[in-house]
Amino acid sequence: MTEGNDLVYEGKAKRVYRTQDPRHYLVEFKDDATAQDGRKRGTIHGKGAVNCQVSAALFSYLASRSVPTHFVRLESENTMTVRKLSMLPLEVVVRNIVAGSLAKRLGIAEGTRPAFPMVEFYYKDDALGDPLVVEDHIVALGIAGRDVVASLREASIAVNRELAPHLAGKGLILVDFKLEFGCCDGELVLGDEISPDTCRLWDAATGERLDKDRFRRDMGGVEEAYEEVLRRVTGRA
């Protein structure tokens, strides 16, 4: 599927290629897995296909709810065509339940529900470990203006408002998730992926973790958890 296309970028989880249409890129999802700022590495067999198809399904759902995304179409089980975006060097994390780094940072028990969804910003820089930043950092250092920060917060809360009940209907609790955005023709557009790699998803009945935490914490059953998310989100294994 990617043969004959020029490689633009290769990251930890994806390869990005040019297409004949300058407005579009081809994204190939990989089975490679990393955690702990790249210190832990491995392979989750079938992860690329799961993340690609889950992302496609969730992007399509969000588009139907008037949330602009970069997704254009699926090309294969692990490859999709997306709109070319000018990406912002920020990750936006929305937390519905305390888990992971937030629990460690503040000494709060995992599973604690805050009064409202919390939004955090992280500066994308692998060498620095994608550090947490606040609005004044973003604005004062020229990463983005206050209007853009406000738009990122608003867009992320809108995604959460649509995704959380949608996934709840499939027996999945959306604990927290990471989003990335870019600009296209002056519009803020959701990019990257929405998958078990970028979301914490707990089984609504049992609390079982069905996401990358199984890899991070050596819990086993990683492939099975990813396949279960695929089954619930898309209705197919």
Do 74 and 107 sit in the same domain of this protein? no
DSSP secondary structure string for all residues of 40-96: EEEE-TTHHHHHHHHHHHHHHHHHHTT--BSEEEEEETTEEEEE--EE-SEEEEEES
Which range of residues forms the domain containing residue 143?
A: 86-220
Residues 85, 72 contacting (CB under 8 angstroms): no
What pLDDT does residue 93 have?
98
Do 31 and 136 sit in the same domain of this protein? no
What are 138-167's pLDDT values in tens digits? 999 999 999 999 999 999 999 999 999 999
What are 81-118's pLDDT values in tens digits? 999 999 999 999 999 999 999 999 999 999 999 999 99
Place of tokens 């009940």: 165
What pLDDT does residue 237 have?
65
State how far the Cα of 207 lies from the Cα of 192, in Å rounded to an integer.
27
Q: How many angstroms separate the Cα of 151 from the Cα of each of 31, 46, 66, 173, 231?
A: 33, 35, 15, 25, 33
Q: Which 3 state secondary structure label does DSSP give 101?
A: helix
Q: Report the percentage of the chain scoring pLDDT > 90.
A: 93
Q: How confident is the model at residue 211 (pLDDT cuts 50, 70, 90)?
A: very high
Q: What is the pTM of this model?
A: 0.95
Do 101 and 62 sit in the same domain of this protein? no
Whichever domain contains 20, its CATH number is 3.30.200.20
Q: How confident is the model at residue 39 (pLDDT cuts 50, 70, 90)?
A: confident
Among residues 83, 104, 128, the one where a domain terminates is 83
For residue 207, give every residue at least 6 positions away whose Cβ sits within 8 Å of its Cβ, in sequence order, or none: 111
Whichever domain contains 205, its CATH number is 3.30.470.20
- CA 84, chain centre distance (Å): 17
State how far the Cα of 229 lies from the Cα of 164, in Å rounded to an integer.
14
What are 8-31's pLDDT values in tens digits? 999 999 999 999 999 999 999 999
What total number of domains does the chain contain?
Answer: 2
What pLDDT does residue 91 have?
98
